[in-house]
Amino acid sequence: MRFGLAILVMAFAFFASPAFAMNWISVLKNTPAERFDEEDLRLFLEAGRKTLNETPDNQAVSWQNPATKAGGELTVLKSFEWKGQPCKSVRVRNHVEGRKNDVTLNACKIENRWRLVTAGQLKSKK
């Protein structure tokens, strides 16, 4: 079974708060993530959690599903603070069925959960 874009947006909730969930639509549209099956998604999310919670800067965490040949790599490019919260800039590379994507996202740990933070929010003083 393939996951649709709406299901992927919900699955990525561990990164984003409901207010930012709509941002995932533009991030995921026309990317390999639209074609992830359940196991691809599980492996990707596991790699994402490991990247954010355990992995030092500039060290890649790879994931691969031999059954679908989907895979990718996540790398913390830098760690920083925003409004007193720990944050990370993460490069996310994924591929499946001939589709590839490379994007850099910012995530900050807010109320003990990693959430996406836009470049505009990072520039905001409020």
10 Å Cβ neighbour count for 78? 11
- First-to-final CA distance of the chain: 43
- Domain interval for residue 88: 5-123
- The mean-pLDDT minimum among 28-37, 61-70, 78-87, 115-124 falls in 28-37
Residue 28 confidence class, pLDDT cut points 50, 70, 90: low
> What value does the CA radius of gyration of the chain take, rounded to a whole number of Å?
14
Rounded (to 5) percent helix, strand, coil in the chain: 35, 40, 25
- What whole-number distance in Å separates Cα of residue 76 and Cα of residue 94? 15
* Number of folded domains that form the chain: 1
Q: ∠ CA 89-58-35 to the nearest 5 degrees?
A: 65
Residue 62 confidence class, pLDDT cut points 50, 70, 90: very high
State what percent of residues in the chain have pLDDT above 70.
75
pTM of the model: 0.77
